[in-house]
Structure 1
Amino acid sequence: MNLAPWPRRSTGCRTRWPQRSSDQLREASDQMAGATGQIASAINEVTRSAVSLSSLSQESAREVERVAAGSQQVAAAAQSNADSALGSRTEATQMNERILAVASASEEVAKAAEESRGAALQGQQAVGQAVSSMEAIAQAVERASRTVDLLGEYGQQIGDIVKVIDDIAGQTNLLALNAAIEAARAGEQGRGFAVVAENVRSLAERSSESTKEIADLIAKVQQGTREAVEAMAAGVKDVTEGREITTQAGHALESIIASVQQSAVQMQRIATDVQGLASGAQRIVVSAEEMANLADESARGAGEMAQGTTKVTEAIIQVSATSEETSASAEEVSASTEELSAQSEELAATAGQMKDLAQALNEAAARFRLAS
C-alpha cells in the first residue's frame, strides 16, 4: 500500500496517519516493511522541520523580545506625548483665557478712546466759543480804546479853549485896570465908568479862576484818559495774546482729536483682531484637546501592543517547546521504525503499538499546529 503524501502548512509539517482498524493494519503488515523506509524518511524530515522550527522560534522569540522592548519604548513615548498634549491643552486654555482678557481690555480701551474723543470734541467746542468770546472782547476793547483816544483828543481841545479863555480873561483884567486908571483921572465924570471897569475886572478875575479850575480838571481828565489809554493798550495786548493762546489751544485740540480718532480706529481694529485671535485660540484649545485624546488612545494602543508582543513571545516559546517535543517524538518513532524493519515478522503483534505511535504523532502534530 502506498502512503499518501504528507501535507505541509505555513505553520510547519503535520503527519496524518489514516485511522484504520486492527484488521486493516494486519492486512497492511506485508507492505509495512517497504513502508518503514518511507516512514523513516518522513520522520527524519519531521525531525529536521522540528529542529528548524525550534531555531526559527528561538530567533522569532528574540525578535519579538526586541519588538516588545520597542513597544514598551513606544508606549513610554506615547505616554510622554499624552502628557505633553495634556500640558499643551492646559497652556492653550491659559492662552485663550489671556487672549480673552486682552480682548476685553482692548474693548474697554476702545470705549475709553471714544469717550476721550467725545470729551476732546466738547473741549474743541468750548475753545471755539472762547475764541469767539476773545474776538468779541478784543473788538470791544479796541472800540473802547478808540473812544478813550477820542476823549483824550477832546480834552486836549477843551484845554486849548480854556487857555484861550484864560488869555482873554487876563487881557480883560488889564483893560479893566487901565479903564479904572482913566476913570480916576477923569474925576467926578469918570466915576460911573470906574464902577463898570471894576465889575469887568471882577468878572475877569472870576473867569480866570474858573479857567484855572477847569484847566486843573481837564489836566486830571487828561491824566485819567492817558492812564485809561495805557490800560486799554495793555488790555488789547492781553486780549490779543489770549486770543493767540486760545487759537493755539484750538489747534492743539484739533490735533488731539485727530490722534484720539486715529487711536480709537486702531483700538477698534486691535479689538477686532484680538477677537479673531480669541477664535483661533479657541480652535487651538479644541485641537489640543483632540490631540490629547488621540495621544491617550495612542498610549493605550501602545500598551496593548506591548501586552500583545508579550503574549506572542510566550506563544513562540511554547511553539519552540512543542517543536522540541515533536523532535523527541520523531526520534522515538524513528527508533521504533528501525525496530520494525528488523522485526517485520512481529508486525502483526506490534500493530497496536504502531497505532498508538501514529496516534501520538497525530497528537504531537496537532499540538504543533495549535502552538504555531
Structure 2
Amino acid sequence: MYAINGMDRSSEMQSVATEQSAAAVTQLEQMTKKVAGLAASSETYLAEVASLYDAGKRQTDAMIENIAEGLQAMEDNLDKLVRLDGQFRSIDKIVNAIDRVGIQTNMLAVNGAIEAAGAGKFGRGFAVVAADIRSLAVETAGHAENIKDLIRDTQSQVSTVLRELQVSKETTKAEVEKAKRILTDSLRIEEDLRHMQNMIADNAGRLNEMEFAINESKRAVDQIAVTSAESAAASKQAAHAGQEQNIGINELARAIEEIASMADDIYL
C-alpha cells in the first residue's frame, strides 16, 4: 500500500513538473516569437536604411561628378580670361605705341607749321596740311586715351572676375574633396550596415532553429503529460484497488476473530 501511495505521489509530482515545463516552454515560445518579430522589423528597417543610403550615395556621386564638370568648365574659363587679360595687355601696348606716334606726329606738325610760317606765302599750303595733321594727331591721341581707359576698366573687371573665379574654384575644390572624404567615410557605414544585415539574417536562422527545437520540446512535453496522466490514472486505480483490498482484509480479519471467538465458546 505504501508503494502504491508512493507511486501516486510520484505521479502527482511528475504531473506538476510537466505542467511547469509546459508553461516554461510556452513562455519561451512567446519570447522567441517576440524576438523573431523584432528581428524581422530590424531587418526591414535596415533594408530601408540601406536603400536610402544607396540612393543618397548615388545622388552624392552624381553631385560630385556635376561639380567636377563645373570645376573643369571654371578652370577653362579661367584660362580663357587669363589669355584675354594677356590680349588686353598687348592691345594696351599697341595703343601706347599709337599714342607715342600721335605725339610725335603732333610735334612734327608743329615744327612743320613753324617752318611753313617762316617760308611765307610759299609755305601756306604746307601750313594748312600741318594744321590738319596736328588736328588728326590730337584727335588720335584723344581716342587712344579713351581706348586705354576702356582697356584699363576691362582689365580691372577681368582681374576682379579672375580673383572671384579663383576663390570659387578653390572653394569648390575643397567642397569636392570634403564630399569625397564623406563618401570614403560612408563606405565604412555601408560595411557596418551590411554586417548588421548579415548578423540579423544569421540570428533569424538561429531563431528558426530555436523555434523548431521549442516545437519539438512542446511535443515531448505533451507526450510526457499524456504519459503522466495515464500513470496518475493507473496510480489512482491501483490506490482504489488497494483500498478495496484493505477493506476485504479487514473484513476477513473480523470474520477470523469471530470464528476464533466461536471456537473458544465451543471448547469452553
After TM superposition, the score normalised by the length of structure 2 is 0.87
1:82 equivalent in alignment to 2:15: yes
- Give the stretch that moved more between structures: 280-289 or 295-304: 295-304
Per-residue CA deviations over 1:75-111 (Å, capped at 9, x if unaligned) read 4664454345334324423432332343244234334
Letter in 2 for 1:109: S
Query: Of 118, 123, 139, which aligns to 1:190?
Result: 123
Distance in structure 2 (CA, Å) of the matches to 1:81 and 1:184: 149
Deviates more, 1:226-235 or 1:104-113: 104-113
Distance 1:251 1:92 in 2: 48
Q: Work out the number of aligned pairs and report it.
A: 268
Is residue 242 of structure 2 the alignment partner of residue 304 of structure 1? no
Q: Give 2:112's aligned residue.
A: 179
Amino acid at match of 1:100: K
Partner of 1:258: 191
> 2:78 maps to which residue?
145
Cα displacement string for residues 172-219 of structure 1 (whole angstroms, at most 9, x for unaligned residues): 222222222222222212211111111111111111111111111101
Q: Deviations over 1:41-100 (max 9, x none)?
A: xxxxxxxxxxxxxxxxxxxxxxx5xx28x82x7646644543453343244234323323
Could you tell me which of 82, 93, 105 is aligned with 1:160?
A: 93
**Do the aligned partners of 1:96 and 1:281 also contact (CA within 8 Å) in 2?**
yes
The counterpart of 2:210, out of the listed 272, 277, 293, is 277
Mapped to 2, the partners of 1:264 and 1:163 lie a distance apart of 75
Structure 1, gaps ≥5 residues long: 1-63, 336-372
Number of the residue aligned with 1:31: none
Q: Where do 5+ consecutive residues of structure 2 fail to align?
A: none
Give yes or no for contact 1:169–1:204 (8 Å, CA) kept in 2.
Answer: yes
CA deviations 1:154-176 (Å, max 9, x no partner) are 11221222222222222222222
Query: d(CA) in 2 for partners of 1:280 and 1:315?
Result: 51
Q: Does 1:201 align with 2:134?
A: yes
Asked whether the 8 Å contact 1:88–1:288 carries over to 2, the reply is yes
| Match status 1:242 vs 2:175 | yes
Measure, in 2, the Cα distance between the counterparts of 1:253 and 1:119: 13
Report if aligned partners of 1:131, 1:246 keep a CA contact under 8 Å in 2.
yes
Structure-2 residue corresponding to 1:344:
none
> Which deviations, in whole Å up to 9, do the C-alpha atoms of 1:311-358 show, x marking residues without a partner?
3332332233233234324434544xxxxxxxxxxxxxxxxxxxxxxx
Aligned position for 1:222: 155
TM-score (ref. length: structure 1)? 0.64
Per the TM alignment, residue 249 of structure 1 is displaced from its structure 2 partner at its CA by 3.0
Equivalent residues of 1:75, 1:302 under 8 A apart: yes
Question: For the residues of structure 2 that align with 1:272 and 1:162, how far apart are their CA atoms?
Answer: 86
Among 203, 221, 224, the alignment partner of 1:288 is 221
Q: Report the residue type matching 2:98 in the other structure.
A: I
**Are the counterparts in 2 of residues 127 and 249 from structure 1 also a CA contact under 8 Å?**
no
Using the aligned pairs only, state the percent identity: 22
CA deviations over 1:296-315 (Å, ceiling 9, x no partner): 33333343343333333323
Q: What residue in structure 2 maps to residue 136 of structure 1?
A: 69
How many Å separate the matches in 2 of 1:249 and 1:137?
20
Shift of 1:225: 0.8
* Larger helix percent: 2
- Letter in structure 1 aligned against 2:175: G
What's 2:251 paired with? 318
Report deviation, 1:276: 0.9
Instruction: Return the index of the structure with the highest Cα Rg.
Output: 1
SS at 2:119 equivalent: helix
> Separation in 2 of the partners of 1:157 and 1:260?
61
